[in-house]
Homo-oligomer: A and B are copies of this chain.
């Protein structure tokens, strides 16, 4: 839900580094969550007091317990609530009485189960905020901070620079497992659950100001105020802390699953794409891709150009890598004579040195050739990044001596690229070997899969090229008595925004239709108004040449569709024009989103749309239209004249503002907008009311 009320940034120290904490519902039974929580929390006991509260009062893990929170020595900064839903409100009251400034609510069975639960969450939030405290959850899996040694999540979050925010506990665990394998770790982890108080946006803000966090990873199903979130993500991006976003609900079935999961309203996928374009968030589609991309973002020197140098010891691997680099649209420059000669100096004669570089056995003969080649490439000025692929890492399997030597070479390569200011990305057949661990310790990203390595490289380069568009401010809302409905109301409203429509008149009888057609001049278009104004239902007849045609069309539509009225319209001469679709959709989380796409026959063939958070300026609208695959049809290409892109952009910008000022509708759309050499002409208009069809 969109909401204007966001509390000012709060101090989250009581949550991430409490001086003392208590666990309500600590348990001695190993199958219970209260046992794992207690065990994890006690790991931080050298840094803070940990009190275990259990009504039975028996010792847990050799630690004394308290029968109620009231018995615990004060102050208690943080209280973890891990008891049933029935006792939840009382437990929050007790925690606040005990002076808690942060509460982590594991308790499930509240907001995600329906209205009653949500009401309890709202009431609790007010109490917590009134007390100057904050609350994580409920229905969450816990919190961890590897710097302050706080572990209330019982997962193995190794230390590192990724700040993780997850709305799914199991996905959080999966991310921890994948990260461990990849040699990266976490600064902080919060499982946000139902976000009754603390939400994803506030955590992004907090992580942005948290020094040990360098990349922010978010799994979210519910965005609350999506614009706020996008704004926070953009400020994180500007602070040099990119936000990676994994979300669900791009399919209806996914939405179905997610809604029942945390009670979240999942935003349509396009709105998320618009938010990413606005804020610089990097969207991924699986937990694995999230960690792989985080590895890349944590490199000391991200790539600043598209020229890739490939190194490997073996023709198959370098050829595969070269194909993928080209397929992803990156460059593989032919190296100069000088650089090639320098690389070739210590390699076998047959070694290809022009890029890709195949050591052709020279790496096996002398591991130092890997280091020399990578160094030469990285410092040549002829490539922007070095991609090492194949066997490297495998020599460590042979003997301890080989492992030592290969590790030295690995450290040498990392140092060489560090000095060069250019990145090294590695694909290795032996991603778990000691030499690869050495590379990872120097923040060189290593992948088992060449596709992953090239994919990450391409995303990093694209990310560096595309500055965020910015999160637009919402214009002042315009008061309106009722949301417009009906074809002519929609046309009239859009016309007030300065959009030119084709000449049209509403008619009820054939005689009226004939009279209006006469005025407009043949050929004309006849449309049946109401629900049946769709060409696939036979409600639109183009190119009516004269009265006989008009009578036939009118009679047939009237009989088959029984529309409330008709529209007689001028037939736009569109031989040299191209049709666009422009529209604004109101997303429940992200608000108005502008959509432009190729229209008419191209809509079906190209399925080509671009989206942005609305409103957009004319310049942004033009950029949006230029990003369509079908843009050459508008910009002018062989045999096609340049069309009036500026007018199209003007119309899209105007509609985006109109749709941002007005609420009460789900969609506003012009389909088609005919773009000609001079100007544009809207040939149809549609407004769908909120909850309408």
Which residues of A come within 8 Å of B, CB atoms? Answer: 112-113, 166-171, 173-174, 177-178, 219, 221, 246, 248-258, 260-262, 269, 285-289, 310, 313-320, 322-327, 332, 350, 352, 354-356, 358, 390-391, 394, 429-430, 448-451, 535-536, 542, 575, 600-601, 604-606, 629-630, 632-633, 637-640
Contacts and interface: CB of A to CB of B under 8 A. Distances in A.
A44 to B, nearest CB: 23
Contact of A251 (B221, B285, B332, B637): B332
Contacts of A254: 319-320, 322-323, 326, 332
Given A251-B327, A319-B257, A600-B639, A288 B451 contact: yes
A358 B257 contact: yes
Nearest to A113: B350
The 5 closest A-B pairs by CB, nearest first: A261-B315, A168-B316, A251-B326, A248-B319, A254-B323
Contacts of A575: 575
Contact of A429 (B170, B246, B451, B637): B170
B605 A629 contact: yes
A251 B321 CA distance: 10
A316 B170 contact: yes
A249 B324 CA distance: 10
Contacts of A314: 168-171, 261
B601 A261 contact: no
Contacts of A253: 322-323, 325-326, 332, 355-356
A256 B357 CA distance: 10
A25 B77 CA distance: 74
Contacts of A356: 253, 256-257
A499 to B, nearest CB: 22
A350 B117 CA distance: 13
B326 A257 contact: no
Nearest to A246: B320
Contacts of A325: 251, 253
Q: How many copies make up the complex?
A: 2
Contact of A249 (B257, B323, B601, B606): B323
Given A254-B323, A606-B606, 20 more contacts: A168-B316, A168-B317, A170-B391, A178-B448, A246-B320, A248-B319, A248-B320, A250-B327, A253-B326, A254-B326, A254-B332, A257-B318, A257-B356, A260-B315, A261-B314, A261-B358, A285-B320, A288-B451, A601-B638, A604-B637
Contacts of A390: 170, 174
Nearest to A540: B638
Contacts of A352: 256-257, 260
Nearest to A172: B316
Q: Among A178, A261, A450, find the residue whose CB has the most chain B CB atoms closer than 10 A.
A: A261
Contacts of A260: 315, 350, 352, 358
Q: Among A248, A324, A327, A535, find the residue whose CB has the most chain B CB atoms closer than 10 A.
A: A248
Contacts of A639: 542, 600-601
A67 to B, nearest CB: 28
A250 B328 CA distance: 12
A327 B604 CA distance: 17
Contacts of A249: 319, 323
A311 to B, nearest CB: 11
Nearest to A448: B288
Contact of A317 (B171, B316, B430, B449): B171
Contacts of A250: 323, 326-327
A62 to B, nearest CB: 20
A170 B317 CA distance: 8
Nearest to A114: B350
A448 B288 CA distance: 9
Given A356-B253, A358-B260, A315 B637 contact: no
B261 A319 contact: yes
A315 B258 contact: yes
A315 B604 contact: no
A221 B322 contact: no
Contacts of A601: 632-633, 637-640
Contact of A315 (B113, B168, B173, B605): B168
Contacts of A174: 317, 390, 429
Contacts of A251: 322-323, 325-327, 332
10 contacts: A174-B429, A248-B319, A253-B323, A253-B355, A253-B356, A256-B356, A257-B315, A261-B315, A286-B450, A605-B606
